[in-house]
Amino acid sequence: MIIREGSILVSHPVYAHKEQRNSIVYVTESTENSTVGVTLNQPMTDMRSLMQQKNVDWSWDHPVFRGGDVNANALIMLHSDEWYSSNTMTVGNNLAISSDGLMLEKLDMGNHPHWFKLVLGCRYWEPAELGHVLKGKRPRWLLLPQPSNDLICDKPERMWKHAVAECSQSVFASYF
């Protein structure tokens, strides 16, 4: 089982931990030493007050999602790859990630990608840890190696069911 950038981890319908239920994680980096990703479907409720605590003027109505507990204060943008900032990296599926001050300035000026999602923080696994949660007797995550762009761009409340359906189709397709 090879985990690549652009893959999606889908919380297992039965074995996922309570805090991971119905989660979708987009893998942004995968090396022999670690796997990093951002959770795509956990919207934050009050971004304005959170940003005020950090002395940042937050005037956008665009939702922000809880990407993960690692670097929980880092704002990351997953976006279509036609747009770039000073710290942009391509991650697969015609997508890229950016995380820098220029990104915020560009958004403030109305210069934004065709599609984007803002997340705070990310998820991190060491190889043995992720291997265990994917291949164990009770795997907590399912791997979707080639998610559709429709899934990635879906509404947060529908993403998990959409991902489970794509996982099922992927499994059945491997038998035919």
The reply to whether 2 falls in a domain is no
Token pair for 1: 């089982």
- C-alpha span between 33 and 128 (Å, rounded): 9
Going by pLDDT thresholds of 50, 70 and 90, the confidence category of residue 51 is low
Residues 132-170: pLDDT tens digits?
888 888 999 999 999 999 999 999 999 999 999 999 887
Residues 81-130: pLDDT tens digits?
999 999 999 998 899 999 998 988 888 788 999 999 999 999 999 988 88
Which residue has 């009050």 as its token pair?
46
Top-confidence residue, 28 or 47: 28
The reply to whether 22 falls in a domain is yes
Cα angle 77, 82, 167 (rounded to 5 degrees) comes to: 65
The pLDDT of residue 172 is above 70: no
Domain of 150, in residue numbers: 8-173
The reply to whether 168 falls in a domain is yes
Cα angle 170, 172, 176 (rounded to 5 degrees) comes to: 110
Number of domains forming the structure of the chain? 1
